[in-house]
Amino acid sequence: MYFVFPISRKRSESVTAIRPRRTIPLAGFAAAAALLAMPAAARAADCAGLAQRLALPHARIVLATEVAGGAFQDDTRLPDGEVKVYRSLPAFCRVRGVSSPSADSEIEFEVWLPVSGWTHRLHMVGNGGYSSNLYYAEMAQRLRAGDVAVATNTGHRGKDLSFGIGHPQKIADFAHRAVHGSAVAAKAVTAAYYGHPARYAYFSGCSTGGYQALMEAQRYPDDFDGIIAGAPGNNRSALNMAFLWNYQANHRRGDDQHPLLDAGDLKLINHAVVARCDPLDGVTDGVINDPRICRFDVGELQCAKDQAKGCLSPEQVTAARRIYAGPRDARTGAVIYPGYPFGTEGVMASADDEHPGWTGYWANPDKPDEPQRVDFFRYWVFADPQWNWWSFDWGRDVDTVRARMASTFDASSPDLRRFAARHGKLIMFMGWQDPVGAPPEAIRYARAVRAATPGADALLRLYMVPGMAHCAGGPGATNFSSATRDSVPPVSDAAHDMAVALEDWVEKGAAPRALIATHYAGEKGERRVAFQRPLCPYPQVARYRGGPQAEATSFVCAAPKPVRKG
């Protein structure tokens, strides 16, 4: 059964073409169907009434209130007591709900619906880490653009992994059900409030948000028309094993008190790498354009006889080499997860970055004598609070992790045929200097999708971002998306803004090509353009062709130089 709705559209940029109205299946809106007989004015204006009159499958509304335009104060406090205020917002209907797909589920979600000026788009934003915080800043950005904004707490509260202890259903909620259930509920709320469904549905996120994005494309291809997946860490079980590998690589076995490399050593390595590899693209700007063509051996920094400063000991050189190589299966030597490329060692995401480069994830910053994400192994894999990370067997236990976690926890399936069949569009991006998820893993996944999904060129674009740390920041041109955190471009159009480029791809069939990415200069929060670069669709890279080095037009997207082996 289908309903057909006429569509109007509004957005700040000029629109040269609007696709004809389309049929929208009733599935997903069954809970709102009875509301279609209500007077249109009541449906579009009565926010508070949603809580009383809207029944949702496996979900309930706990708050529905209209918020006046202007400033919105976050009603959750940060650990330091700070209260965030989001300004310049239009008036909106704020709906908070709880979804319970299982008896052990309590998935909180919010839907912000603009009172006027709706673009007929719904746009859900993702999360970060294992935190339950909703990204109100990104919801505010989507609301300012005229979209219905949606977010979820992923089914738990807090930022550690304790929520999964003895609660496999909550792990499933975090892994994939929270986003799906929240999206279904948000679509029903939207249809009830406006009198018809959203014309288009989008999802965008980075880090865990990127992981959620790929989960959606793989498991729930009907939820969204367009998806942005940044720095996804989708091979998540293997990523947690990589954190453990890096911790062990940086310590003598059994010694948790004395790391071999520290932040100063990483700064030393990073400076040497940048000095060697930065000029390879013809421009010396502090940015490694393509680390794959960089030829550097950390052994060059090994201390000479009687040298004590500005160098590395043989043991430190070995530690760095192990991290560059990445975890291997002790039985076969097979790659478990890619190693980190040159340039990730001590990259500063910002001038006040307290945990640059590898220091943020090779150990728990709050407990530096234990590996990052150790509770994944303690509680989720081995169900043993006393589990010792030095006991991990890089053969047998690799199999155990995969057997117990991968089917629920990983978003690694390259088969996107169902998403492609409904003409879904997926944009991935990854920073070449990302010290969290290894950049080569994004390339590996994109290649796998192209091999497993016919017509993948009509479905997928990957952008590898030179000089970008995790999701944003770093020495490169890293501002190119109004839909992911800390990456706001100077202009919101299809040439500068990945979110608008995705909309044009979905709604007008205009596939994205090179984007213009920006690096800002000045004090924190100042947005003075320092330089711009073309952000090229993989496998192309930006190549300098002459002219002012600060201008994107001085570069052209071209095939990469051959990667030399050895």
Q: Give me 487's structure tokens.
A: 């990456």
The pLDDT score that the predictor gives to residue 153 is 97
Q: Give me 125's structure tokens.
A: 């934003």
Domain ranges, ordered by start, for the chain: 1-75+86-100+122-196
Q: Any alpha helices (H) in 393-519, and if so which ranges?
A: 396-401, 407-409, 417-421, 439-452, 498-508
The pLDDT score that the predictor gives to residue 83 is 81
- The amino acid sitting at 287 is V
Give the DSSP H/E element, type plus range, for residue 194. Answer: helix 178-194
**Could you say which DSSP state residue 443 is in?**
H
Pick from 495, 403, 424: which is nearest to 214 by CA? 424
Count CB atoms within 10 A of the CB of residue 232. Answer: 29
Count CB atoms within 10 A of the CB of residue 484. Answer: 28
Distance CA 428, CA 495 (A): 16
The pLDDT score that the predictor gives to residue 78 is 56
Q: For residues 487 and 563, is the Cβ–Cβ distance under 8 A?
A: no
Q: Any alpha helices (H) in 107-176, and if so which ranges?
A: 136-144, 168-172
Distance CA 243, CA 531 (A): 34
Q: Any alpha helices (H) in 388-535, and if so which ranges?
A: 396-401, 407-409, 417-421, 439-452, 498-508
Three-state SS for 113? strand
Cα dihedral sign for 291, 295, 298, 301? negative
Q: In the block, which residue shows the tokens 């002219």?
A: 547
Distance CA 498, CA 456 (A): 19
Torsion on CA atoms 287, 293, 295, 297, rounded to nearest 10:
80
pLDDT < 70 regions, the chain = 1-45, 77-81, 564-566
Distance CA 138, CA 129 (A): 16
Q: Any alpha helices (H) in 195-313, and if so which ranges?
A: 208-219, 236-249, 263-277
Distance CA 238, CA 406 (A): 9
Q: What are the catalytic residues?
A: 207, 434, 470
The pLDDT score that the predictor gives to residue 5 is 31
**Could you say which DSSP state residue 338 is in?**
P
Integer angstrom CA distances of residue 265 from 116, 197, 282, 359: 55, 55, 28, 11
Residues in the chain: 566
Pick from 504, 413, 410: which is nearest to 453 by CA? 413
Pick from 373, 361, 367, 381: which is nearest to 246 by CA? 361
